Amino acid sequence: MYQVMIEEQFSAAHQLSDAKGKRESLHGHNWKVQAEVVAKAVDETGLVLDFRKLKSALQEILRPFEHAYLNEIEPFSRQNPSSENIARWIYDRLTEELPAGPSGSGGSDGSVRVARVIVWESEDAGAAYTAG
C-alpha cells in the first residue's frame, strides 16, 4: 500500500460548550492539519496522487477556517469544534473532493482514498479520524 501525506495550517478561535474549565472560554490555536491518502497502486507516472492536487483540495476545505471563530461555521454552530470533530469533518470533505478514477487520481485502479486526517491544536496535542 502506498501512502501520501501533506500538511497545512490555519489560525482560528473556538470554545467548547459543556467542557468545564478553560476549554469553555473563547481561545485560539495555530492549528496544523495532516492529511494522508492511500492507494494499492501508482499511476503511469509513479504517483498515488499529485501533491499539488491534494494540497489544493485541503487548502480549499480549510479556507473558511482561517482567522475565524469556528463556532460560527457549519457544522460547528451545532456541535463542538473539538479537534476530533474537526478531523472528522475535514476527512469527510476531503473524501468528497478526491478525484475518482485513473485520470489524474494516481492509483491505476482509481483506488485512492483518504486514510487519515490529524488535527493538531498545539505542538503536542491533536486528534485523528480514520473511517472504519
Domain membership of residue 81 as a residue range: 2-129
DSSP 100-120: PSTTTSSSTTS--EEEEEEEE
Task: Answer for the pair 3, 20: CB distance below 8 angstroms, yes or no.
Answer: no
Query: Residue 68's domain is classified under what CATH number?
Result: 3.30.479.10
Selected residue with higher pLDDT from 102 and 70 = 70
pLDDT at 36 over 70: yes
Question: In angstroms, what is the C-alpha Rg of the chain?
Answer: 16
Residue type, 93: R
Point out which residues pair with 18 in neighbouring strands.
Answer: none
Number of domains in the chain: 1
Residues 4-18 pLDDT 10s: 999 999 999 999 987
